[in-house]
Structure 1
Amino acid sequence: MLNARIKLRHLQAFLEVARQRSFARAAERLAITQPGMSKTIRELEELLDTSLFERTPQGVALTQAGLTLLRHAGPALRALEEGVGAIGDTHQGTRWLRVGALSTVESRLLPEALHRWHAEGSAHGEVGVNVVTGPSAFLLSRLRRGELDLVVGRMTEAREIQDLAFEHLYYERLLLVVRAGHPLAGVDPLPPEALTDHPWVLPPPQTTLRQQVDSFCVRHALSLPSRLLETLSLPLSRHYTLESEAIWVAPEEAVAEDLAAGRLCRLSLDLESHGGSVGLCTNASMQPSLALEAFCEILRQVAAV
């Protein structure tokens, strides 16, 4: 049974400190003083008879007890917010699904699923979809806190996925692609060391896709060139590659149309042979809505095509 002395303000303060990794920033976000924030967290720790945070050189980090509370408190407050919001939605006629999207699904899977969702709108009621993009660590942490309903993409290599529920849809590879007419286009066999003579467009450090690039470089004893463009933006990556001699480390889905049209060319050297698992990630501690289950089914149907 929930301790009646634990108030909503205790849980809101806890979640904000967990989100910000800083008492000062959390206090600023909640418009209270830092001593007030510290007092609120101290009260919660006394009520639970355990420490929730520990100080590190980078700020504060969750203890094991803090991680346990985070897995439950975030979804619980999110459910409460949805309940309050649903009252207003009854009058306004719109509810929302909050979806986190990785770059691996921005070109085909998610747009096609959204097209079908809106085409079948009357079957799902007035439910809109809010899409948040970013690296897997950012999106999965928001899913764990109950701030997203679903994350879609290639993320099985991410440490943050461990206590979340993942459903595999299909495998997708990262490819090395260049513009048509590039000096390396059509070169076969392609010596790995030739890659370092050109700029690279690749995912930023600390992303799951970058881990595959780093593994490729280790296998071929390569050092990344000094001329790098690190981004998860597909439009920026595409335009830069089409207008330069850059080599783009690209999700297969993102370049399929340009490869078919001959605007981009795939290099003969494979960055990875099998590819990573693209799928759906949900928070098992949150009760899925009928709308979420329907949207996931549409994603499965699109993935199967």
Structure 2
Amino acid sequence: MNLDNRIKFRHLACFLEVARQRSFAKAADAVAVSQPAISKTLKELEEILGARLFERSKAGAELTEAGVTFLRYAGPCVQALRDGVNTLRGHEAQVETVRVGVLSTVESLVVPEVIRRLHRRHGALVVSVATGPSAYLLAQLKVGELDLVVGRMTDSPDIQGLTFEHLYSESMMLVVRPGHPLLAAPLGDLQRLAEFPLVLPLAGTTIRRHADSLFVQWGIPLAGQRLETLSPTLSRSYV
């Protein structure tokens, strides 16, 4: 089947921006057009495709099942076109760029060595690394803003249509500062954890769900006084 020649680049660019921003208003600001213009362009695309791409609500715009399917193809398509234009214009024609998304909590595990190896093999290579929460990185990956993401497996619907490769395994452990009272407690006396402030990953993240399940397994209530963060620097400073 031939591509419908009614589909223009502006339709795809508009669709990707709304998918990225999850908001018609924010997408309009990002591309410097009016919100009615964004809505009109998306309506045209939906009519051409014969499918509803977004569910609109006061909270924003969420992709429908058809929208998720279309996103898998539209993102790489637009990015390939941009790369082709830049190459023909001579923009960084001799330099390749790899855009990598990395969870801030795992960026120091495997990424530095991988980048060193890539630079040894490729004389002209720019590795652009973006950090952020998993949902943000996966959204950027789907719209073609990132080439790959290094993170944790999740059961989120955001992973639909993506390909995964196992890189490493993590262990979860308890860490305390030197001289902490728990160091003098009997090994395995985990009930005392409830007596002290805790540093935990943000609620709703994959690693936090694993941590919560361990606390339930051990029968330990979460301390009422705790810090929730994904920042390794803040965590170390607080401990």
Same fold (TM > 0.5): yes
Given residue 70 of structure 2, which amino acid in structure 1 is its aligned partner? L
Given residue 22 of structure 1, which amino acid in structure 2 is its aligned partner? S
**TM-score, with structure 1 as normaliser:** 0.72
Structure of greater relative contact order (alpha carbons < 8 Å, 6+ residues apart): 1
Per-residue deviation, 1:164: 0.9
Distance of 1:28 and 1:94 partners within structure 2: 31
Identity of aligned residues (%): 53
CA RMSD after TM alignment: 1.8
Distance of 2:25 and 2:172 partners within structure 1: 41
What does residue 32 of structure 1 align with? 33
Distance 1:21 1:153, change over 3 A: closer
Listed one character per residue, the Cα deviations across residues 27-84 of structure 1 (whole Å, up to 9, x for unaligned) are 1111111111111111111111121111235222111111111111011111112222
Distance of 2:211 and 2:17 partners within structure 1: 34
Distance of 1:218 and 1:57 partners within structure 2: 36
What does residue 129 of structure 2 align with? 131
Of 183, 186, 200, which residue of structure 2 is paired with 1:188?
186
Contact kept in structure 1, 2:200 and 2:226, CA below 8 Å? yes
Distance of 2:83 and 2:223 partners within structure 1: 48
Given residue 6 of structure 1, which amino acid in structure 2 is its aligned partner? I
Per-residue deviation, 1:157: 4.5
What does residue 234 of structure 1 align with? 232
What does residue 82 of structure 2 align with? 81
Structure 1 unmatched runs, 5+: 242-305
Distance of 1:134 and 1:212 partners within structure 2: 19
Distance of 1:84 and 1:205 partners within structure 2: 43
Distance 1:175 1:70, change over 3 A: same
When the two structures are aligned, how many residues end up with a matched partner? Answer: 236
Contact kept in structure 2, 1:140 and 1:160, CA below 8 Å? yes
Given residue 218 of structure 2, which amino acid in structure 1 is its aligned partner? H
Contact kept in structure 1, 2:105 and 2:230, CA below 8 Å? no
Secondary structure in 2 matching 1:81: helix
Distance 1:43 1:74, change over 3 A: same
Listed one character per residue, the Cα deviations across residues 185-239 of structure 1 (whole Å, up to 9, x for unaligned) are 2533333331121111121122111111121222233332232222211122112
Listed one character per residue, the Cα deviations across residues 101-128 of structure 1 (whole Å, up to 9, x for unaligned) are 124532231112223333x1xx313111
Secondary structure in 1 matching 2:169: strand
Query: Which structure dedicates a bigger proportion of its chain to strand?
Result: 1
Q: How does 1:1-305 map to 2 (within 5 A)?
A: 1-86=2-87, 87-90=90-93, 93-118=94-119, 120=120, 123-185=121-183, 187-241=185-239
Contact kept in structure 2, 1:140 and 1:151, CA below 8 Å? yes
Given residue 16 of structure 1, which amino acid in structure 2 is its aligned partner? E
Secondary structure in 2 matching 1:177: coil
Contact kept in structure 2, 1:134 and 1:232, CA below 8 Å? no
Secondary structure in 2 matching 1:98: strand
Distance 1:154 1:4, change over 3 A: same
Structure 2 unmatched runs, 5+: none
Distance of 1:186 and 1:149 partners within structure 2: 48
Secondary structure in 2 matching 1:178: coil
Contact kept in structure 2, 1:201 and 1:231, CA below 8 Å? yes
